[in-house]
Amino acid sequence: MGVVSNGHNLKFFIDGAWVDPVVPRTLDVIDPATEEPFAAIAVGAAADVDKAVAAAKAAFATFSTTSREERLALLRRILAAYNERAEDLAQAVSREMGAPITLARKSQVASGQGHLEATIEALENFTFEEQRGTTRILREPIGVAGLITPWNWPLNQIVCKVAPAIAAGCTVVLKPSEVAPLNAIIFAEVIEAAGVPAGVFNLVNGTGEDVGQVISGHPDVDFVSFTGSTRAGVIVARTAADTVKRVAQELGGKSANIVLPDADFEVAIKKGVLGCYGNSGQSCNAPTRLLVPADRHEEALEIARKVVESVTVGDPRDENTTHGPVVSAVQFDKIQKLIEAGISEGATLVAGGPGRPEGLSRGYYVRPTVFGNVTNDMAIAREEIFGPVLTILPYKDEDEAIRITNDTVYGLAGYVQSQDIEHARKVARRIRAGAIYLNYPEWDTHAPFGGYKQSGNGREYADWGIHDFLEIKGVPGWG
């Protein structure tokens, strides 16, 4: 199969060595294309977290004093080792979370590579000290960082936390998602191959309850960076509050995509549909609410319907597949319930619907679905579906489009389509979200990523990510 790591699935990586759990327990890893287990991992508990945190705390005393040049050399070695394991990483991601193998190579694995490159570039020019009058401002590593990452873009989120932590001089304890953990085990092998000093990076697999919450509340963890659902993010923040540690959260989203009247309608709708469906709809910043002028609503529905016909859902191992299954039975069932809710609430079912696509009798495959005539009070417009389900909402004028866009508890991303870039910029300023994408730009690993409102706090990517792992010290009288 080529995705199992070098005999380390039943071990954790702590203090530079592969170690057995304190109390042996295992968890199956399910292939979402077959619904069958294909591997097992060790899952940890508080005693394993204690060992990992102790190793990170001991390593911090030395690693926090390393020079920029030493950390740059280390990140470059990690990048080289990562690139050597790129195909292993792609095979793991494809098998464990259902990403089509082409997407796994070109996007999932490539995102980690992009973050390493961006962090290296950011570190080369980062300002750790500055003088203000007679006061020296020092930016110092915050300490031991607990990193809790999700299954949907696993390498993207692991690397955009680990790389800036190392750049800042922090040591880390990583808990990846237990749903898609094999890529993280291979990443730990990358860390080992790159010669990262013992204790700087530690990996403990397990559940949110048994490992994630322990990390969040651990008195020797100084900072927690969490990516996942808003519900889980609230638990992390509450758990961390007792030790008054800083928490950065990248949480859920329900991002609106405003197609302004002057946009190239065919292009804007087509890219909007495919943008929503990317990664089988399992992206927190997906443009899931498509807002179109009311007098062109029917036209938008017809374009969307034709786009859905071009989508190929199937076996993620097939290089011609564009869309694979969703990750788990839990996700599949949630999506099915929300599709049923859309129908019962009176939205127009334009394409897709409940059940699996034709010809697929097993696997967590969802029919790419489009709803029209959606109002913003419907469940499908308010809840994060996290599947290939697009809602199309008509608006009568620009002010109403902005009001609908901002009428959500989330604020992770927004999208604006217009042939008048000045107009698009003005609309972007009115959207309450952390990242606004104008006319479907290329992905930018140097742009800040993070949310407003219940989509979280803190920012990731490049120098923005490094800042999250630093404390600020003022030294008046420096001279």
Q: pLDDT of 124-174, one tens digit each?
A: 999 999 999 999 999 999 999 999 999 999 999 999 999 999 999 999 999
Task: Please tell me the distance from the alpha carbon of residue 257 to that of residue 263, in angstroms, as a whole number.
Answer: 12
Burial of 396 (0-12, 13-18, 19+ CB in 10 A): exposed
Angle between helices 86-97 and 154-168 (to 10 degrees): 130
Which fold would CATH assign to domain 256-444?
A: Aldehyde Dehydrogenase; Chain A, domain 2 (3.40.309)
Task: Please tell me the distance from the alpha carbon of residue 100 to that of residue 111, in angstroms, as a whole number.
Answer: 15
Q: Measure CA 425 to chain center.
A: 26
Place of tokens 């940890």: 44
Beta strands in 396-442 (DSSP E): 413-417, 435-438
Considering 170, 276, 284, 460, which one is annotated as catalytic? 284
- Length of the chain as a residue count: 479
Q: What is the CB-side half-sphere exposure of residue 227 using CA atoms within 13 A?
A: 27
- 125: helix, coil or strand? coil
Q: For residue 322, what are the contacts with CB-CB under 8 A and spacing of at least 6?
A: 100, 103, 311, 312, 313
Per the annotation, the verdict on 124 as an active-site residue is: no
What local confidence, expressed as pLDDT, does residue 113 receive?
Answer: 98
Q: What is the CB-side half-sphere exposure of residue 311 using CA atoms within 13 A?
A: 33
What is the pTM (predicted TM-score) of this model?
0.97
Place of tokens 């992009």: 114
What local confidence, expressed as pLDDT, does residue 5 receive?
Answer: 63
Dihedral angle sign, alpha carbons of residues 191, 192, 193, 196 = positive
Task: Please tell me the distance from the alpha carbon of residue 69 to that of residue 33, in angstroms, as a whole number.
Answer: 45
Domain ranges of the chain: 12-251+455-475, 256-444
Question: Nearest-CA neighbor of 118 among 170, 165, 163?
Answer: 163
Per the annotation, the verdict on 309 as an active-site residue is: no
Considering 250, 276, 384, 460, which one is annotated as catalytic? 250
What local confidence, expressed as pLDDT, does residue 132 receive?
Answer: 98
What local confidence, expressed as pLDDT, does residue 452 receive?
Answer: 98
- 376: helix, coil or strand? coil
Task: Please tell me the distance from the alpha carbon of residue 100 to that of residue 83, in angstroms, as a whole number.
Answer: 19
Exposure string (b/e) for 294-309, b if CB count within 10 Å is 16 or more?
eebbeebbebbeebbe
Task: Please tell me the distance from the alpha carbon of residue 110 to that of residue 105, in angstroms, as a whole number.
Answer: 6
User: Are 377 and 345 in contact, with CB atoms under 8 Å apart?
Assistant: no
What local confidence, expressed as pLDDT, does residue 1 receive?
Answer: 41
> Does domain 12-251+455-475 match CATH 3.40.50.800?
no
What local confidence, expressed as pLDDT, does residue 4 receive?
Answer: 52
Q: pLDDT under 50 in the chain at which residues?
A: 1-2
From residue 407, how far is each of 230, 354, 389 by CA, in Å?
A: 17, 27, 19
What is the amino acid identity at position 2? Answer: G
Strands ordered across the beta sheet of 256-259 = 348-351, 369-372, 389-395, 289-293, 256-259, 413-417, 435-438
Question: Nearest-CA neighbor of 109 among 127, 120, 97, 121?
Answer: 97
Q: What is the CB-side half-sphere exposure of residue 218 using CA atoms within 13 A?
A: 31
Of all residues in the chain, the percent with pLDDT exceeding 70 is 99
> Vertex 191, ends 187 and 197: CA angle to 5°?
155
Task: Please tell me the distance from the alpha carbon of residue 321 to that of residue 300, in angstroms, as a whole number.
Answer: 26
What local confidence, expressed as pLDDT, does residue 176 receive?
Answer: 98
- 292: helix, coil or strand? strand
